[in-house]
Amino acid sequence: MKTDTSRLLFERAKTRIPGGVNSPVRAFKAVGAAPRFIAGANGSRIWDVDGNEYIDYVGSWGPLILGHAHPEVVTAVIAAVEKGTSYGANCEVEIQLAEKICQLMPEIDMVRMVNSGTEATMSAIRLARAYTKRDKIIKFAGCYHGHGDSFLIQAGSGATTLGIPSSPGVTEAIAGDTLIAHYNDIDSVKNLVENFPQQIAALIVEPVAGNMGVVLPEPGFLGSLRQIADDHNFLLIFDEVITGFRLALGGAQTYYHVKPDLTTLGKIIGGGLPVGAYGGSTEIMEMLAPVGPVYQAGTLSGNPLALSAGLKTLELLEQKDVYPKLREKASYIFNGMAENFKRAGIPVVANAVESMGCFFFKQGLVTNYDDATKSDIKLFGRYHQLMLEHGVYLAPSQFEATFLSLAHSKEDLDRTLEVHGRVCRGLKQK
Ligand code: HOZ
């Protein structure tokens, strides 16, 4: 496979952009391959600048549940752009998207739009601290809530991929207000609550962890978090930046029937454009300025292009049978891959729910960060490289998810399984 142009561009990028990338995992450092520069995308496919075509299972890290350049989303964005790109003033699509989110996620009475998931989580904990008049938050090792200082402590995603889960530059004072529990381990939460009485403002959790690879909540885990938050008067925040509108129309909270106090969103609600949002009850949300004293603002917040793309995406997701179709595609590919691994004698742990999943290169189970980080990263790197060379584009890290979209056809899935079978046999022989 020819990669000369991508390589040249990467060298050029490195002279002006740190590491040549605007988000670290894109450097492909963990998998030892040359990062591809993308020239275009449509449906389930992406093309690089060397003319190679790939079946894409990254989907821009989750937003593209309808596939790339969905015609109706493109039309909505063009219609919006023709009316101007940004006003720094109110426009109707802000209300339309807010109404749609509140309709689909019944725990949200009011929602504030921001520009990224990072902004959403940072703002949500500020609000939680103001509401409870407490300082500390609990997060789980391996969960990733964007790159806000409070969250870069035992963080997953690129931070784990690059071996810097707790970043320099975060002050001790800030780190001291973030307490770390262990995913699927309720006792670890109870211990923190007992050790820091009346000090915890909020517990934030990815209801399905998607940034230490995919790790599912064990039965009762999310419900127990709800109970502990109620018993100790702190807020439960579901970070649904990945799971929102991915697991189900109402996100993980409707899928698992657990009601958070605040929800953070991003990815799908921007249809592939930069966006984030956070929402909850009127009582909590009206603490935000200009109604209340908690400050948060943004020049491009509520941007009409992003919100038009997001609104159209949600409208399309409301159509009949969307989630069963996604589930069917996901089961087909994940089961097929699991079978290929098994036939080749490569031990993996398959974790998947609805249209997101991953394979950990290890034996046993993966129920938390410790389990996930025991995976054979080198083997994953070789696997990734071979899949890429054969035209299948997976996230370049053991600690990220594989995403299905409605655009993945049966032909795409069969082609992927055929490549995957060959890659598995090749991996075993090495
Ligand atoms: N942290 C993102 C995935 N969980 C990476 C986004 C990107 O590099 O584009």
Which listed residue (57, 144, 369, 393) is catalytic? 144
Establish if 85 belongs to a structural domain. Answer: yes
Establish if 44 belongs to a structural domain. Answer: no
Q: Confirm whether 239 is a catalytic residue.
A: yes
Reported as a pLDDT band with limits 50, 70 and 90, residue 247 is: very high
Domain count, the chain: 1
Establish if 346 belongs to a structural domain. Answer: no
Establish if 412 belongs to a structural domain. Answer: no
- What CATH number has the domain bearing residue 84? 3.40.640.10
Rounded Cα–Cα distance for residues 3 and 175 (Å)? 42
Q: Confirm whether 139 is a catalytic residue.
A: no
Reported as a pLDDT band with limits 50, 70 and 90, residue 428 is: confident
At residue 430, the pLDDT reads 64
Q: Residues of 67-91 as b/e, b for ≥16 C-beta within 10 angstroms?
A: bbbbeebbebbeebeeeeeeeeeeb
Q: Confirm whether 267 is a catalytic residue.
A: yes
Establish if 339 belongs to a structural domain. Answer: no
At residue 225, the pLDDT reads 98
Establish if 391 belongs to a structural domain. Answer: no
Rounded Cα–Cα distance for residues 108 and 116 (Å)? 18
Q: What is the pLDDT of residues 142-173, one digit of tens each?
A: 999 999 999 999 988 888 888 787 889 999 99
At residue 228, the pLDDT reads 98
At residue 137, the pLDDT reads 97
Reported as a pLDDT band with limits 50, 70 and 90, residue 114 is: very high
Determine the residue of 17, 22, 25, 160 to mutate for testing ligand 1's pocket, defined as the one with the most ligand atoms within 8 A of the Cβ atom: 25
Q: What is the pLDDT of residues 62-78, one digit of tens each?
A: 999 999 999 999 999 99
**Which one-letter amino acid corresponds to residue 205?**
V
Residues in the ligand 1 pocket, defined by CB under 6 Å: 23, 25-26, 61, 157-158, 211, 400
Q: What is the pLDDT of residues 198-217, one digit of tens each?
A: 999 999 999 999 999 999 99
Q: Is 233 helix (H, G, I), strand (E, B) or coil?
A: coil
pTM of the predicted protein model: 0.97
At residue 159, the pLDDT reads 82
Establish if 83 belongs to a structural domain. Answer: yes
Q: Which are the contacts of 123, defined by CB distance < 8 A and separation ≥ 6?
A: 112, 114, 278, 296
CA of 139 to the centre of ligand 1 (A): 19
In whole numbers, what is the pLDDT of the chain averaged over residues? 97
Query: Could you report how far apart the first and last alpha carbons of the chain are, in Å?
Result: 20
Q: What is the pLDDT of residues 34-61, one digit of tens each?
A: 899 999 999 999 999 999 999 999 999 9
Range of the domain at 266: 71-317
The whole-number average pLDDT for the span 119-124 is 98
CA of 61 to the centre of ligand 1 (A): 6
Establish if 136 belongs to a structural domain. Answer: yes
Which listed residue (239, 261, 371, 412) is catalytic? 239
